Chains A and B, each alone.
Chain A
Amino acid sequence: MKYIDEFQDPALARRLLDDIHATVTRPWALMEVCGGQTHTIIRHGIDQLLPEQVELIHGPGCPVCVTPLEVIDKALEIASRPDVIFCSFGDMLRVPGTGRDLFQVRSEGGDVRVVYSPLDALRVAQDNPQRQVVFFGIGFETTAPPNAMTVHQAKKLGIRNFSLLVSHVRVPPAIEAIMKSPSCRVQGFLAAGHVCSVMGVGEYPELAERHRVPVVVTGFEPLDILEGVRRAVRQLERGEHTVENAYARAVRPEGNPAALAMLEDVFEVTDRAWRGIGVIPDSGWRLSARYRDFDAEHRFSVSGIDTREPAECRSGEVLQGLLKPHECEAFGTLCTPRSPLGATMVSSEGACAAYYLYRRLELGTAPAAATTPLEASPVV
């Protein structure tokens, strides 16, 4: 962990920035795929330090943001049941469904618990055999293997009161969908390093070749981001489009074989809807037939939910890199982290939240001191 400081070294950052400034001769648009990278870029002010010609476009890589509204509504419905203990990672609790969130379900008496690992949820199930325990299994290739392992473990131990509400998504099909969009401006990708640490880099050469875009596998610390940008810009300036691994300390080309085997065993690829974007073919996972008993959607009847996305929310365009958060009319007025219209404003990795939290000085939106009257608040 002492490496954290080393990857934020100002002198090294300056050298990378100088190199980027010296390399760039014309405008380039790069997309960082992962919300964690977006967060680092905005939190450390990296976008302010890059040459004007290098535009960073924020991609769809926030798992909280892209979880479809109907899945959130299903989670709210299941979590409201008196016989259910609903377990989730913390950052899903504030994501708005249609009209409410998991915090509100908890304040209304639902047993909603924050856990730090799906295995914690399995332990809750073992400790409460008379109740149904549901874990909210969302996320990219990074969180899918531990969730798969938990279901595998539940089956092995014969635990009958545990299930997974699954909404796992896969990154490469999303990149493909973005590149196919007629309005796409992206000329290079900073691929998400932690996704590649699981999956390897095998899915990217074909993508890079087909769309003639450089793909640089990039980590999450400030120096990682700068190195990723430096390599992508160098390729673009030279007219190249290869896959480079700038995160070799964590990513092996073949990925993590044990995690891949677990995914293969428990999940199968399926079409998946992305919030604000729509259905992307082959972009998700669901539990395979052998594990269907552990699928919360099968175990609980969650049909007939009236799902309504706020009409003013343009998070879909933000997620596709078509719109910067502050270019949305609702940004900072109708839509704030306090009363978000969409998940991009509430997730800690969401691009709208990052702009609202860190960039309000430049964007000229209202300062933090302004609080809202209590009548507009949910229950205490």
Chain B
Amino acid sequence: MLAFAVRRIAVSLPILLISTFIVFMLASLSGNPLSGLLTRNPPPPPETIALEAQRLRLDHPVLERYWMWLTGLFRGDFGPSVQSNLDIGAEVAGRFLITMRLIAVAMILALVLAVVIGVISAVKQYSKTDYAATFLGFLFLAMPAFWLAILLKQAGIDFNNAVDEQIIYTIGDSSVPLPQGFGAQVADIAGHMVLPTISLALISYAAWSRYQRSAMLEVMNTDYVRLARAKGLSRRRVMIKHALRNALIPLTTVTALDLASIISGAVLTETVFQWRGMGDLLLNAIRTDDVYVVMAWLLITATVVIVFNLLADLLYAVLDPRIRYA
């Protein structure tokens, strides 16, 4: 198992390195970090622009800039941002936690929903429940995430109006200022989390519940499940203990593989709900041609995706012991 993990990491590192090189070149050659300054009105003096170009290392060839960036990483230097006051490392660390909170809660919600609804759909195949779940699944799959988020916001406002109280919020991860008292603070943060997590969860849930349904159906038709039933075990015990365990294996892989798309979904969710996480950081960096911030984003998210894929492989082996010996 250890050798397997080490081998996977060894393969991932060159991929990470190559992707940083490609992205650095694309970002550096397609954008102009001085663009913001050049469009100021009145324009700054030429000396100011020259100083800024120097600070952003634009006086070096692009390959040299990449090398400076790469070697700087070992000293904890992520490079200069277009915003001279921005410490990229500290900024990314703070924002990473915000995004992870959103992604973690949304993934748990999506997984629970997907497993529960997927299993119910499978067990009650071709029932009205199954049709309703299928309809909803395809509806959320087809719905543009942005539109879904706006609908959720509107529903949240209607809810607030109906109960005549401010419970659901549409922007930020907490109120400013945060209300006094522990209970009120928890309620406030929860009120800010409801819509973004549902929004992000529904998109993944839709696909995952379909996987779970088909995996469950497949397992239910296997010999060992029939055997377990024939032995006289209760239906509930067979479903949970024997069928579900095996039916979770495909979902584990899908979840890990989907992480990259969840992160990109989070970029949109963060924008719509104005969470200041990694997604917001990336969009802002692209908008301002902030090459080194884009690079930091890439490094962190690519590492997370690689780590999660590794974890999924390991978990896969735990769920299905046969894989360990393959």
User: Does A pair with B?
Assistant: no
* B interface residues, Cβ below 8 angstroms from A: none
* A interface residues, Cβ below 8 angstroms from B: none
